[in-house]
Copies of this chain bind each other. A is one copy, B any other.
Amino acid sequence: MAELSYREAVAAGIAQEMRRDPDVLFLGEDVAAAGGVFKATEGLLDEFGPKRVKDTPISEQAIIGATMGAAMTGLRPIAEIMFSDFFAVCWDLVANQIAKTRYMTDGQCSFPLVIRSANGGGSRFGAQHSQSIENWAMAIPGLKVVAPSTPADVKGLLAASIRDPDPVMFFEQKSLYSVKGEVPDGEHVDTLGTARVVCTGTDVTIAALAAMVPRALKAAKILKSEHGISASVIDIRSLVPLDTQTLLKSVSETGRLVTVEENPRLCGWGAEVASIVAEELFWDLDGPIVRVTTPHVPLPSAASLEDEVLPNVERIVRSVQRLVD
């Protein structure tokens, strides 16, 4: 096991797959010569050259369109959208074209492509560079949606995404880029559509994603040590496909569910999960389903204000406590 940062795991995952498969290309703004504005793709140009690692103009529609066209003609492209907020300028290509074309053509073509993007808040970048938009993607049939919380998951799930025959939206939480963690040596390929039980408890299930996972875990520790509440924490990892079995199993054991979402409240993945549990496990529940989210506001820029609205450990603890007590 080597220790890699979340950032390094990105390049490691891409490099692993580019070595293996000459059909894998990578394109985006400032990704090649500069190694990406988050330095997450350093070294790729040197190793694979400018035919496979390409700097593009500031033309997100062209980037995603080119990715789609390449994927439907035999390649396995990876695109970067620098900040996930910028999906708004190319959403048609993602949501109307890539996601729907296989279905519309009665399965005549597939889209083995990955779009990576720096997602989420905590970096004081303000409302247009900090959004958690994984739910935009989740709402569109035809997109797979992945959001890892650890360096090992970055590498393993990115490799799995690149090998997957369907379009995968791969959300990297930008405040995690410098976090380090053990990553298995050698080829590492994980499985899409699998959640991970991070810790097991008996009183409540806390489901979280990406940057909210470490916060949920910390909350679970405090709940245990200070309040005697025993929580399971589940890292969702993949919103589509969604590992409902792992979730339902855990909630059926604990009888309570709290979701922790970084996104603004309305129509987040937690709502979807809550609706599944409220339908399928209703009779097993011992109490209301609670969602901890960013309130339904844009993200402010100043550190003190941003910290005020993003779900934090204290708010998770308080919500769980109120539910269980």
Contact = CB atoms under 8 A, between A and B. Distances in A.
A124 to B, nearest CB: 13
Interface in A245-282: 263-264, 266-272, 274-275, 277-280, 282
Contacts of A91: 87-89, 91
A290 interface: yes
Contacts of A96: 85, 88, 127-128
A269 B269 CA distance: 11
Contacts of A287: 282
Nearest to A296: B141
B298 A288 contact: no
Find the residue from A96, A100, A271, A296 having the highest chain B CB count within 10 A.
A271
A127 B139 contact: no
A268 to B, nearest CB: 7
A279 B291 contact: yes
Find the residue from A91, A126, A267, A300 having the highest chain B CB count within 10 A.
A267
A266 B275 CA distance: 10
A231 interface: no
A138 interface: yes
Contacts of A266: 138-139, 141, 240, 272
Contact of A275 (B89, B275, B282, B285): B275
Contact of A268 (B86, B87, B139, B274): B139
B142 A298 contact: yes
Interface string A91-128: 11011100110011000000000000000000000111
Given A266-B272, A267-B272, A279-B290, A139 B139 contact: yes
Contacts of A140: 264
Find the residue from A94, A95, A264, A275 having the highest chain B CB count within 10 A.
A275
A282 B274 contact: no
A289 interface: yes
Contacts of A240: 266
A297 interface: yes
A266 B138 CA distance: 6
Contacts of A288: 278-280, 282-283
A135 interface: yes
14 contacts: A88-B92, A88-B95, A96-B127, A104-B126, A104-B127, A138-B266, A139-B263, A139-B266, A266-B272, A267-B268, A267-B269, A274-B279, A278-B288, A282-B287
Interface of A: 85-89, 91-92, 94-96, 99-100, 103-104, 126-128, 135-136, 138-142, 240, 263-264, 266-272, 274-275, 277-280, 282-283, 285, 287-291, 296-298, 300-301
Given A100-B298, A271-B271, 18 more contacts: A88-B92, A89-B91, A89-B92, A96-B128, A100-B128, A104-B126, A104-B298, A104-B300, A138-B266, A138-B267, A141-B266, A142-B298, A267-B269, A267-B271, A271-B275, A279-B288, A279-B289, A282-B289
- Nearest first, the 6 A-B pairs at minimum CB distance are A88-B92, A282-B288, A274-B275, A271-B271, A278-B278, A139-B267
